[in-house]
Amino acid sequence: MTGRERLLAIVGGVTAGFFGGLFGVGGGLVLIPLLTATLHFTQHEAHATSLAVIVFTAIAAGTVYALHGNVSWSTGIIAGVASMLTAPLGARLAYKLSSRALRRAFAVFMLLLALRLLWQPPHPTSEIVGFTRIALVVVVGAVTGVVSGFMGIGGGTIMVPAFTLVLGFTQQLAQGTSLLAIVGAATAGSWQHRKKGTVRAAFVPWIALGSVVAGPAVSVVVQQLPHDVLVRGFALFLIANGVYGLVGPDPKRR
């Protein structure tokens, strides 16, 4: 690795950590295009390396949320286990299916979620309990795992709105719980990619260095933000990524 590559890796990690801490996501939606554009990773290498870094981002930022009481441990563990079981499937599909169609479908999904959040930000409630709640969490985790393994993202863009809209979590609680859960998906997905030899291991420590510094720092600020402001900010984040997914350049395969 050159000095320039190390610097770009750290900057990419800081960017991923910033959004990870701010919105309770792994940062893969931001990191992957940075890796392909600046460090010239192939799409598979970017996905695989992103997942490996997300493990560190989620743990570092999630610790801050946990210290502020904004993690639902039962929900996060159930969703995390479900996503861990399905993430390898998504990673395997990444080598068999066109990522173009899935990326654009996921982009439309993000735009629809964003419009819903902007139209009427959800407010904390706890109406769903018992087996129904557990079943919903398992489904959310399972879907997240597949998308995570395929797209190289942590899955917070699915879990955070699901936890707020379906389970009635506050935005901070949804984001903290998401960070706990995506550790499982990112670990399982990156391991599957590693067996294919697409994780650029030399870059992981440098990217992770940036993410574990920026993630917790931003997470501290997030704990003080009003619920509605954070929800609308997350919606705008989804819109930006959704638009990029629709009009951005098609990913290249190895």
CA dihedral 213, 215, 216, 219 (to 10 degrees): 150
Q: What is the pLDDT of residue 99?
A: 60
Q: What's the one-letter identity of residue 103? A: R
What's the CA gap between 100 and 92, in Å, rounded?
16
Query: Lowest mean pLDDT: which of 29-33, 127-131, 194-198, 217-221?
Result: 127-131
Q: What is the pLDDT of residue 159?
A: 86
What lies within 8 Å, CB to CB, of 11 at 6+ separation is: 34, 210
Res. 150 pLDDT band, cuts 50 70 90: confident
What's the CA gap between 66 and 1, in Å, rounded?
36
Over 50: is that where the pLDDT of 54 sits?
yes
Q: What is the pLDDT of residue 254?
A: 43
What lies within 8 Å, CB to CB, of 199 at 6+ separation is: 45, 48, 49, 51, 52, 190, 193
Q: What is the pLDDT of residue 210?
A: 93
- The length of the chain is 254
The residue that leads in pLDDT, 27 or 79, is 79
Q: What is the pLDDT of residue 253?
A: 45
Res. 123 pLDDT band, cuts 50 70 90: low
Over 80: is that where the pLDDT of 249 sits?
no
Given a contact cutoff of 8 angstroms between Cβ atoms, the answer to whether 11 and 210 are in contact is: yes
What's the CA gap between 135 and 139, in Å, rounded?
6
Spatial CA neighbour of 161 closest among 55, 18, 28, 25: 25
What lies within 8 Å, CB to CB, of 55 at 6+ separation is: 183, 186, 187, 190
Residue ranges of domains in the chain: 3-247
